[in-house]
Chain A
Amino acid sequence: MYVRVFAAVWLLACAGLALLAWGFEAPFAYDPVGPRAYPLLLLFLMACGAAWLLFKPHGEPTPAFDRAKAQRAVLCVLALLAYALLFEILGFVISTALAGFALGLLFNGRLWPSVISGALLGVLLYGLFDYLLDVPLPLGLLRLLES
């Protein structure tokens, strides 16, 4: 069932992308293939595959939809997204501490250990990467403290 839904969505996506790919035109090209043929070929093949799955999905049972599981997955994705988006704004240390805390809780950690592990991750990894390995990481809000 899920495979069918996915195949249907993918079929639509292929159609949309094919429309987009139709517009790939170079002013000129030295090879006879050009920038358009290869993506269109791939999309066509994928559409065939999706159609196949739509009409003849492999006979696997459909597991029951588990609301609690899905809820946690969504929460986890949201936490990851928030982490990514706040990475530069809040800076590495603060955003990591928050994300470490949130993920720790999601993965059944207790409150205080999660707080501590998050904070430690932020500070220690910042030290490791920024000072030892010379990978510059964003300071974010902490930049204000500096000046």
Chain B
Amino acid sequence: MKTRLSRIALLSSCLLLSSQLLAEPKRPECIAPAKPGGGFDLTCKLAQSGLKDAGLLKAPMRVTYMPGGVGAVAYNAVVAQRAAEAGTITAFSSGSLLNLAQGKFGRYDETAVRWLAAVGTDYGAISVRADAPYQSLDDLIAAVKKDPGSVVFGAGATIGGQDWMQTALIARAAGVDPQKLRYVAFEGGGETLTAMLGGHVQVTSSGLGEVTPQLDAGKIRILAVLSDERLPGKLNGIPTAKEQGYDISWPVIRGFYMGPEVSDEDFNWWKSQFDSLLADEDFAKLREQRDLFPLSMTGDELKAFVEKQVQDYKALAGEFGLVK
């Protein structure tokens, strides 16, 4: 009985394996729409090593860099020139969706590609210097309410970018017009943090992953993480905005999409690989190492999520006066 069962298991796993082998697309490639070393690069590397370690992808997956417009260049290239490439997946983040919602992706909208999988998420964070007078989000919002010009916000984003949106949400919570804030746009979180440590700006709005190293060094205080619940692990001590009474949450999801003309067969192959990858425990560890939190969505579920997200972003952009 036992042997028969194991034989069946063996047989079926062989079948599964061979079917995978048959369907695996040639020359798998991950497009990172950024320069090497950026967030998109890490997303690609995560899939690259995850898929390889779990044995879900036999051929080595290459990483191609295509920087420009938080993914706009890659989006257009995939839709227009590489629509049918079965081996190519492209990384995206909430930042890409935000720009997409504001019409900065050229003539294509969110229905132009096939959304494959979301593999993890980071969260927005609001931080100040360790010696700043603000002890909690309440203090900060009270100060902004009293005099919007008294606090200088810094972030690595232009007006309308993710980190700016977080600041705008803070302003909204304080009942202040986001346009009345004092806001300085830097290039990326690193520059912003340095400016804050040097005392040139008072508050940094960024992704959590960008500020945790400085937290360990005891140089900054994170007033709030913009997640729905407290985070697991060593970051458990950081309060969320929600528990402080402000309904602000800003997840930064990371995932992949594929070209619009990829066949259902190939798309489903990738989807099932990602489904097994996301259920894998080793992958969870890999993801944690890269400062990402669990989030798993594939196929239609992700598509629905992306479409809703884009609608939400559009509404926000309209509310904050970004689109006329």
Q: Is A132 an interface residue (CB 8 A)?
A: no
The residues of A with any CB-CB pair to B shorter than 8 Å are 26-30, 88, 134, 136, 139, 146-147
Q: Which secondary structure characterizes the binding site on chain A?
A: loop
Residues of B within 8 A of A139 (CB): 27
Binding site for A on B (CB under 8 A): 26-27, 29, 62-64, 81, 159, 179, 181-185, 321-324
Task: Determine which of A27, A88, A146 lies in contact with B322 in the assembled complex, contact meaning CB atoms within 8 Å.
Answer: A27
Complex: A54 Cα to B94 Cα, angstroms? 51
Whether the pair A27, B324 counts as a contact (CB closer than 8 A) is yes
Q: In the complex, what distance in Å separates the CA atom of A40 from the CA atom of B64?
A: 37
- The answer to whether A147 touches B26 (Cβ under 8 A) is yes
Q: Are A136 and B321 in contact (CB under 8 A)?
A: no
Chain A residue at smallest Cβ distance from B31: A136
| Given A28-B321, A136-B63, A139-B27, 18 further pairs, Cβ under 8 A | A26-B159, A27-B321, A27-B322, A27-B324, A28-B179, A29-B159, A30-B159, A30-B181, A30-B182, A30-B183, A30-B184, A88-B81, A134-B62, A136-B29, A136-B64, A146-B26, A146-B27, A147-B26
Shortest B290–chain A CB gap in Å is 20
The 10 A-B pairs with the shortest beta carbon distances in the complex, nearest first, are A136-B62, A28-B179, A30-B183, A136-B64, A27-B321, A27-B322, A146-B26, A136-B29, A28-B321, A27-B324
22 contacts between A and B (CB under 8 A): A26-B159, A27-B321, A27-B322, A27-B323, A27-B324, A28-B159, A28-B179, A28-B321, A29-B159, A30-B159, A30-B181, A30-B182, A30-B183, A30-B184, A88-B81, A136-B62, A136-B63, A136-B64, A139-B27, A146-B26, A146-B27, A147-B26
